[in-house]
Structures are given as C-alpha cells and as structure tokens.
Structure 1
Amino acid sequence: MGKYSYLLHLQCPKCQKTYSAETEQHLCKCGSPLLAKYDLELLKSELERDELKNRPENLWRYHELLPVKEKSNVVSMGEGYSPLLKTPSLGRKIGVDELYIKDEGLVPTGSFKARGAAVGVSKAKELGIKQLAMPTNGNAGAAWSLYAARAGMESYILMPVDAPVVTRKETAISGAHLYLVNGLISDAGKIVASLVQEHGFYDASTLKEPYRIEGKKTMGYEIAEQFNWEVPDVILYPTGGGVGIIGIYKALKELQELGWIKEEKLPRLVAVQAENCAPIVKAWEEGKSESEFWENSTTIAFGINVPKAIGDFLVLEAMYKTDGCGVTVSEEEIQKAQKLTAEHEGLFICPEGAAVVSAAKDLKEKGWIKDGEKVVCLNTGQGIKYADSIEVDVPVLEPGSKLTI
C-alpha cells in the first residue's frame, strides 16, 4: 500500500523557490503564495484511478493528493463529494441544454469553505499550530472557526460589520474570538496582519497559508470523477479571492499529469464577479497579469466582495491558459437568477452561485457558450445563509379567513 500523502514540498509559482512542507510556511520571500507539489510520477505507478470507487464519498478519498501526511491528523466532518445536479428546466430557461450545478451548499458549515478549512486545519494540526487568525467575508470564518474548534485550536476571526448575520453567528457559537470591522475584508486583513506579527498567530488568510487551496481543488477532482473522467466544456466560478478557480485548475493539471483525464484541452474556466467589484475581470479585459485595487466595492454577493486578491495572477493564468474569460453581473441579475433557480429547480442557491447562473445565461446569449456544450456552474453555499437580503411580499390572513384563489 502506498503512502497516505505524496506531498514533496511547497513551491513558489513566480520565482520557483522551494520550501519544506514539514514546517510552518506562508508566503514566498518574493511575496507570492506557495503551492503544494506532489510526487505524481510515483503515485501514477502505485495508485489506479479505479481504486477510488470503493472509498468513502468525501474529499479525503483523494488523500494521496492532499498535504496531510498522517491520517491521525485529519480533522473531518465528512466534507466533500457534493452533488453534481443536471438542471434541465433552468437550462432550457437560459438556453444552456447541458447545464449542471455543483451544489456546495450541502457540505458541512453550508459552504464550499469547509473544504479549505478541513484541509487547512488538518495540516495546521499536523504542524502543531494552536492559534490561528484570519479575515473573512463570512463563510470562511464560520468554516475555519468550527473546524478549529473540532481540532482543539483557538481562532481569531475578523469580518466586516456588513457580513451576513448567519455566518457571524456560526463563527461566534464556535467559541472563536470574533471581531467585526467597520470596513471591507481588506481592512480586516490589515488587523489580522498585526495580530500575526505581534502575537505569532498562524496566518490563515486567503493564500497566505498554502493548504486552503488543496481542499478547494478537490472540487476539480470531483467534477472529473462525477463525469466519469470526461471533463465538461465550461466551468463557471464566483470569484473573490479566487482560491476555488486556482484550485480547480491545479486539480485538472494534476489529473492530466496522472493520465486520469485524457483531454488535451481543459474546460474553459470563467471568473464571475459583481459589476461593483470586478478587479479580476477588468484585468482580464485589459490583458493584464495582475489586478488593481477596486475602490468602494459593494455587492449583495458578499463572498465575492474582494477588492484585491493576493492570488489574482494565478486566477488570470488559469483563465488565459484554458481560453476562459471573465464576466460581470449586476445586482439585479443576481437576484433574478437566484429566484429563477429556485423556481425552476428547487435549489435555493447563494447570491454568489446565482451570479454564476446569470453569467452562463449571458455567455450563451453572446455565443461564447455553444449549443450542446456541457456547462458546470458552482454554487458555493446555501441561499438560506443570506435570507436577510431577500425581500418577499407575502399576504397575511386573519384567522378564519377564506382564501380566494
């Protein structure tokens, strides 16, 4: 039997410098995030793809391609292997016949952030970490604080005061040290940086530790496996910090190298952002390799309200290398798509997921998505977490009233 993990080391995608994965690491000396590298040649000779069929349906089924070296360090709530649902009624409505939604709202903590938290916290446990700190727009803070509690770690979570109430309560009930910041996630990030510097806390900020992305990339493995190792034509992803799209691209490249997917051409990766916070889409439109800080950003899709992502160059690389694109959607379009998805498929998706559905409609209308192409939209969380942002007009009846239909 092979090793539990085939992790070799960490590597900087900018300057190629390598770092040990046996000790705590954060950014490269050049300022870039670090990426985990695996011995794929050895794994290819020791693991057959079909062996996965008999494994539990959670993300740890891919443990050889994850960074935790000892199974005893795994902190899990059964996360991963979310359903990939064909949505024919919604597809007909927006003109995309082969439309699928991967529903991450059904994983623990109600969002895809549980993937990054599970792997990130597990590796932090393996490294002996006792305290972590992070800024968040809500869902990541909820996930990391709850997984940290399960691992017996202390967490310091800072989120904007406008973050969804449910995620605030999820974080607070975990016993985390929760603080609200009168500003954006970028403002919360500056406070976390001072905590890390002054108190030596483990910095769990987006891409400032190398392992969140390893949990997120399992979405890419699952999409391939759920399509019987034939990748779709297009994958659309709501993009804030961009870890999901970076991770999916990384996963697909690893599957190519293992020979587990045969396609020479990868799915076209689409970064979806809100009109009022679209730094990565703007950079893509201008052909740039990095984005600029987006002033006064705001959107009801709170999870993608990120004015500047530290890994923006990796997101843009994934878009360019797969012939993907960037799309912006309006607040009105997000709300319409959220209602449309619920009415036609019974799926109460989050605003970020709705942004992706709206983008798919837009790309089909423009001819960028062709007839018959297989299209996957990522819904990254439960709509119920954002219930306060949804306005409904419901009649109120007095007792004994007769309902006239």
Structure 2
Amino acid sequence: MTETSFQPRFQGFDCSGPCGGRFDAREPRSVCPRCDRPLLARYDLEAIAARLTPSDLPRFGTDLWRYRAVLPFASSIALVRLGEGGTPLRPLPRLAEELGLRELWLKEEAGNPTHSFKARGLALAVNGALAFGRRGIALPSAGNAGSAAAAYAAAAGVRCRITMPQDTPEAFVLSARALAAEVRLVPGTIAEAARALAEWAPAPEWWNVATFREPFRLEGKKTLGYEIAEQSGWRLPEVIFYPTGGGTGLVGMWKAFGELFTLGWTEGPMPRMIAVQAAGCAPVVRAFESGSDRVEPWADAWTLASGLRVPSPFAGELILRALREARGGVIAVSEEEMLEGMKDLAEREGCFACPEGGAVAAALRRLRASGEVQPEERVVVFNTGSGLPYAEAWRRARANVGGAAR
C-alpha cells in the first residue's frame, strides 16, 4: 500500500498536544514531530454525514470495517483482516438485579481474534504500517497486544519483534512465538520492555506500533464507541467502566463519541467514563484525583492484571483530557476486589473474564454501593479478554486467596 491507500475523506493528523500541529498523510507519521505527543486522525465528517447514515451500515458487514467510512483506508484496497470487532453487548440481568441497576450491559471482547480487544487496534496498526510501506513492526507488550500484533503481522507477511516483561503469563509468550514473532523477555515492567525495544528494533527499519506511538491503533479502538452506540440503538449509555492501562480504548471511545455527535448519528451527553486501575499501579487515578494535568510514573508497579501494569502511560495528558471532558471519574481496586470481580462475572453471568474485567466488575460494585452510580443509569462494563491465559489469577480467585503476594 501507499498514500493512495487512504480514503479521500481522511484528511491527515492533528497533534493532541498544545502545539496544534496539523499534518497530512503523505508521509509516515508516528507521533507529533514538534512536541512528541500522540497524533489524532482527522476526517471530513460533514462530507461523510452527507453520504452516509446509520441505516447504510448493515450492508458493510458485521466486523469493525462496517465503520470504514470513518477509518483511514480506501475502499479499493485489500486489507489484512481476521474478523475483528462486532463483539456482543449483552445484558447482565443477575448482577443488575443484585446491584439495583435498571440496565447493566457487558461489552464482551474475548470473541475477537487472539481473544481480546487488542485485535481492534493492531488490525489498524498493521494495515497502517503497510500503507506507510513498512515491512517490520515492533512493540513492547505485557500480553494480549503481543499476541494480536503477531497474528496480524503473520497474516500480512511482515516481521514482528516483541519485548515482554519476564513475568508475562506464559500463554502470551507462547502464542506470540507460535505466530512467528521474535520475542525477548526482559526484567521489569512494560516500561523496561519499551526501553529494550528501542535498542533491539530501531527505526526506521522497524515501525513502532506501541500504544499511542503511531496513530492507527487508536482508530481501531474507537470502533468500540461506534459499536456501543449502534448496539444501543444510537442512544448512548450514561456510564461506561473501562480498565485503563495505556488508555487507548478510553481515548478511542471519547474520540468516537465526539465524531458521532458531529456526524449527527447520536445526541449528547457524552457517557460518563470511569477509568479503572489496580491499586498496585494507579498513576492515572493519582493524577486525576490530585487535579494534575500530567501523569507521573508509578514506582514499583505490580498487579495480576498485566494490562493494567502500565506505570507511565505515554498519553497520560490525553487520558486525563478525555476523562475530564467526559465528566468522568477514576477508581483503583485491590487485588482481592479484582479476584472477586472475576468470580462475580463467571458465577453470576457465565463470563470467564480476564483480571481487567474483574477489576471493572469490582469498581462498579464499589461505586454503586457509594451511590456514585444511580439505579436509573444505563451502565456498560467491559471484559477486554478471555480468562484462559490467566491461570494463576484464576487459581487465586478459586482458592479465595487475597493479597496476591508476589
């Protein structure tokens, strides 16, 4: 693919930071060249709205590419696609009754290729790498993103290098290697994995598809917002609970809802988004509650939820902006609460959740008990991946072991 791979209503990129930079799509862009902030894809939404309405969407399939009009790539090109997106939004009647909620819905992302929501972002990132003429991708990962990147790279016929923390669950390491990725394990967290990647897979030979280090993963994740809106009859929920590590999904939904308002496909207000983190790694919670505009690194980060073990999210400022514009909030849950949340979803609703999903269930239970979530509000919670790779977490949950000692 080349620059002609892009559709005409994709206009380029805007810097998400204070410099206000605007860039076209004619040359590869990773982050803002002026201030090193994440880039946001820009579209001519008025032109799209003039040609497309929600009633047109069913003819474009059931996966995330049904929203191709608001994604960067031209309809004339062949995409690397594995069936990503189109996951169910299903009711949770037993938990809703127990918690005294009128409507409680689960966005179940385990049905994606490689069994997690990461397939959405990596599908777009790998197609973006191809559009920019890249033949090798690289990223640090603590689990699901590595599996997804490896799968899409294999399907695209490009090389893939991944650095992972040494304590990454073995299932993720095995799956990435099975999918032909080169994997190196490094001591520490994903922050140390990112530093190791810079030496092992340098630019420009390797295109970095790490969280917010290129602009297309966000476009894949924003389809979560489009799907929730469409599956809700274009009537947005009042509250969304989302497990937040690097923040791509939360920011992606915030971007999606803003686009939907401009398109005229739904009306406000913006859902109140709650960022859920682990008590052992809660840099966004700390920054939000202190009123800061910056997310400072979290020392000695640890949690069973590998996707929440992100001590220094690159897009911290953008995450805080999205939360505040969405009138959102934050909450950190303990390991014990997380394990109980996993059991809640499994035993009451038949959802074999990942620890991040358990964290969301625990956060809802606590905020409902405090009255911060009202009975009449329509609430959406997320399970971002299958519980299968998390054998240790599930052993602890089944044994009712609290504390999750190291």
Q: Offset at 1:378?
A: 1.2
TM-score between the two structures when normalised by the length of structure 2: 0.93
Q: Structure 1 stretches of 5 or more lacking a match? A: 396-405
Matched residue, 2:14: 11
Is 2:152 the counterpart of 1:137? no
Q: Is the 8 A contact 1:6 1:38 kept in 2?
A: yes
TM-score between the two structures when normalised by the length of structure 1: 0.94
Amino acid at match of 1:391: R
C-alpha separation in 2, matches of 1:235 and 1:124: 31
Between stretches 194-203 and 143-152, larger displacement belongs to 194-203
C-alpha separation in 2, matches of 1:305 and 1:377: 20
Q: Is the 8 A contact 2:254 2:322 kept in 1?
A: yes
Matched residue, 1:271: 275
C-alpha separation in 2, matches of 1:320 and 1:335: 29
Matched residue, 1:55: 60
Matched residue, 1:331: 335
C-alpha separation in 2, matches of 1:364 and 1:277: 23
Q: Classify 1:70/1:87 alpha carbon distance in 2 versus 1 (closer, same or farther; 3 Å).
A: same
Q: Offset at 1:57?
A: 0.6
Q: Offset at 1:70?
A: 4.8
After TM superposition, list the pairs within 5 Å mapping 1:200-279 onto structure 2.
Answer: 200-263=205-268, 265-279=269-283
Q: Offset at 1:56?
A: 0.9
Matched residue, 2:172: 167
Amino acid at match of 2:43: Y
Q: How many residues align?
A: 392
Q: Offset at 1:94?
A: 3.2
C-alpha separation in 1, matches of 2:262 and 2:87: 24
C-alpha separation in 2, matches of 1:393 and 1:9: 46
SS of the aligned residue for 1:10 comes to strand
SS of the aligned residue for 1:106 comes to coil
SS of the aligned residue for 2:303 comes to coil
C-alpha separation in 1, matches of 2:245 and 2:397: 31
Is 2:348 the counterpart of 1:344? yes
Q: Deviations over 1:249-305 (max 9, x none)?
A: 000000000000022x11001100000100001101001111110000000111110
Is 2:280 the counterpart of 1:288? no
Q: Offset at 1:197?
A: 3.6
Is 2:383 the counterpart of 1:387? no
Amino-acid identity (%):
40
Between stretches 309-318 and 210-219, larger displacement belongs to 309-318
Q: Is the 8 A contact 1:274 1:330 kept in 2?
A: yes
Q: Is the 8 A contact 1:164 1:386 kept in 2?
A: yes
Amino acid at match of 2:206: F
C-alpha separation in 1, matches of 2:128 and 2:83: 16
SS of the aligned residue for 2:41 comes to strand
Amino acid at match of 1:127: F
Amino acid at match of 1:43: I
Q: Structure 2 stretches of 5 or more lacking a match? A: 1-5, 400-406
Amino acid at match of 2:45: L
SS of the aligned residue for 2:29 comes to coil
Q: Classify 1:72/1:93 alpha carbon distance in 2 versus 1 (closer, same or farther; 3 Å).
A: same
C-alpha separation in 1, matches of 2:220 and 2:318: 17
C-alpha separation in 1, matches of 2:200 and 2:101: 47
Is 2:41 the counterpart of 1:41? no
SS of the aligned residue for 2:77 comes to helix
Q: Is the 8 A contact 2:342 2:397 kept in 1?
A: no
C-alpha separation in 1, matches of 2:206 and 2:335: 37
Matched residue, 2:402: none
Between stretches 168-177 and 15-24, larger displacement belongs to 15-24
Which of 373, 376, 384 aligns to 1:372? It is 376
SS of the aligned residue for 1:385 comes to coil
C-alpha separation in 1, matches of 2:197 and 2:100: 45
Q: Offset at 1:22?
A: 2.7
C-alpha separation in 2, matches of 1:71 and 1:327: 44
Matched residue, 2:404: none
Q: Is the 8 A contact 1:237 1:378 kept in 2?
A: yes
SS of the aligned residue for 2:390 comes to helix
Between stretches 5-14 and 318-327, larger displacement belongs to 5-14
C-alpha separation in 2, matches of 1:322 and 1:95: 24
Which of 145, 157, 166 aligns to 2:162? It is 157
Amino acid at match of 2:261: Q
SS of the aligned residue for 1:371 comes to coil
C-alpha separation in 1, matches of 2:26 and 2:145: 25
Amino acid at match of 2:316: D
Q: Is the 8 A contact 1:348 1:382 kept in 2?
A: yes
Matched residue, 2:306: 302
C-alpha separation in 2, matches of 1:257 and 1:394: 47
C-alpha separation in 2, matches of 1:40 and 1:86: 32
Matched residue, 1:398: none
C-alpha separation in 1, matches of 2:8 and 2:187: 42
